[in-house]
Structure formats: C-alpha cells, structure tokens
Amino acid sequence: MVTKLDLYRIFYEVSQHNSFSKAAKSLYLTQPAVSQSISLLEDELSIRLFNRTPQGVALTEEGKHLYEYVDSALNLLDSGEKKMEEFKLLKGGKIAIGVGDTISRYFLLPFLENFHHKYPDISFKLLNGTTSELVDSLKQGKIDIAICNFPIEDEKLEKITCADIQDTFVYGEHYNHLFQDTVSIENVLKHPIICLDQDSISRRFVDQYLKEKGLILEPEFELGSHDLLLDFAKINLGIACVTKEFSSSYINQGILKEINLIEKIPKRSIGICYLKSVSLSIASQKFVKTIISDTNTN
C-alpha cells in the first residue's frame, strides 16, 4: 500500500532527476510504478506537477512551490531519523532524575561520574526532594526515574532494590563513658536524640520499628539533612540516628562512634523507581541497567 509520504518521496526523486526512469532506479521501483504514483498525487492535489518533455519531465510552477515544502519536510524527517539513531547509540538525550541530597552524595554520584564518562553526550537534570515528593514528581512527569529510600507502597511504580542500608545510632566523645558495652535501644532513648524529621521515609521506618517494640522516639532535635545529624552529634548535642553506610567517613575516622545495640534495627533499602505506565527512554534504560549491574557486581 502506497502512503501519502511514499508519494511525496517519489515526487522528490523525480524532481531531483527530472526523469521517471532515473527516479525509479534510485527507488528500486519500476518506471510504471513511479509514473502511476505521480499521476495519483496529481489527482489527489487536482493539479499538474510535471510537464512531460522529450528529455524527461520538468516541474511546473506549481510543482516548484510544492518541491520547496517537500524538500524541507523530508530533510526534517531525515534529521529526526538521525536524531533517533543518535539516541539509540546514546549520543544524545537527557535523563531527569529525582533524588535526595544524602543518596545523591553517598550513592548516586559514582554512577553519574562513570556513566557521563562513557556517554558524555547524555545530559542530566537532577531534582531534589523527599521520597514522597519524588513519587509525586514521577506521577507528574517531571522526572524519569527516582532514586530513593524504600519501602514505597505504590502499585503504579516499578521498584528495583539496589542496596541494603542499616540505621544505627552514633555519638561524640562526650558520651564515651555511657556506651562502652552493648546496650539496649531503650537505654539509648533515655538520652537526647537527634534524628530526621517525620517527612522522611527513614524516620518513619525507625518510628514504626520502635512502635512495634512499644517505644516512642521523642527527639531533642529534628533535622532535614543527614549531614546535619552527623555535625550535631559531633559537637555532642545528642545521640544521632543515622544511616551507617552514609556515616562511614565519620565512624572510620573516629569522629563519631557507633552504639553497639543488643538488637540492631532491621535493614532497609534504597533503590530505583519509575512509572509502570510510561516507557523509559533508551538513555534512562541504560542508566538504570548500569546501576543494577554495578550494584550486583559489588
């Protein structure tokens, strides 16, 4: 079945060659098929596009005007096809990622660095927010993927776990004499507690764990940044509830010490999520696969 676009491509080739036979050869068609297509296009437009001459064909004045539009349109289509090919080869495109400050700094950055090194023509847009804010941004089409704290209960989202993380308590030198031995979490909660605010998934996770044990977290300080938790603990304002994996530099350097709990808080996870109903771009698919592959390797 010959489409309208096919007719215009045949019209373009005939215009280029001023010949039905030469156009047919370039298009791998028969000359009668080309002639029939031009006649069909002229009938549809109700206008003559070519004058037949002994030497071949020549555009009419009307045909010359149409040629200008067809030439522009086909060039645009060719440019579009080339751009699609670039996308397939990851030589173009943009990935919009939603991520919180802490996960961005301690988890995402190495993946961004490696991916950008391999595919420098892919650009990134990062949107900061809490997990609930990022889920809303996904549903509003503002971002392609979100990298955030789990668990997330939402059937509209595809969720891929990337890494397990451990919530724990850390303290500065002022509290050294209190936590030399293994202690219960009840004992820890008797002291000033520094933790994230209740908008964060990690805070709600710890709250739920404590609730199941019949305990309530009544913090001295509620903060919006994980790094602030560490800084507050460093100057001995209280015991900070932090993510161990994101606090390793402070713990390893001895700036803060981890409390050895009798019963550790259960591990949770961070991961990637995106809308099930929306297909990811080729660049986004590749980025997600890269993170999954690298985290599985490690």
pLDDT confidence bin for 203, thresholds 50/70/90: very high
The per-residue pLDDT for range 13-61, each reduced to its tens digit, is 999 999 999 999 999 999 999 999 999 999 999 999 999 888 889 999 9
Question: Largest alpha-carbon pair distance within the chain?
Answer: 106
Whole-model pTM?
0.73
Percent of the chain with pLDDT over 90: 77
Q: Which residues, other chains included, contact 108 with Cβ-Cβ below 8 Å and sequence gap of 6+?
A: 97, 99, 147
- Express each pLDDT in 119-135 by its tens digit: 999 999 999 988 889 99
pLDDT for 84: 80
Most trustworthy range by pLDDT among 129-133, 179-183, 253-257: 253-257
Give long-range contacts, CB 8 A cutoff, 24+ apart: 128-135. Answer: 128/98, 128/99, 128/100, 128/101, 128/104, 129/98, 129/100, 130/100, 130/199, 130/200, 130/201, 131/100, 131/200, 131/201, 132/199, 132/201, 133/98, 134/98, 134/99, 134/100, 135/273
At 93, the pLDDT band (50, 70, 90 cuts) reads confident
Q: Is the confidence at residue 151, as pLDDT, over 70?
A: yes
What is the pLDDT of the chain when averaged over all its residues? 92
**Residue located via tokens 């080729």:** 282
Q: Is the pLDDT of residue 272 over 80?
A: yes
Q: What is the pLDDT of residue 278?
A: 86
DSSP secondary-structure letter at 246?
Answer: G
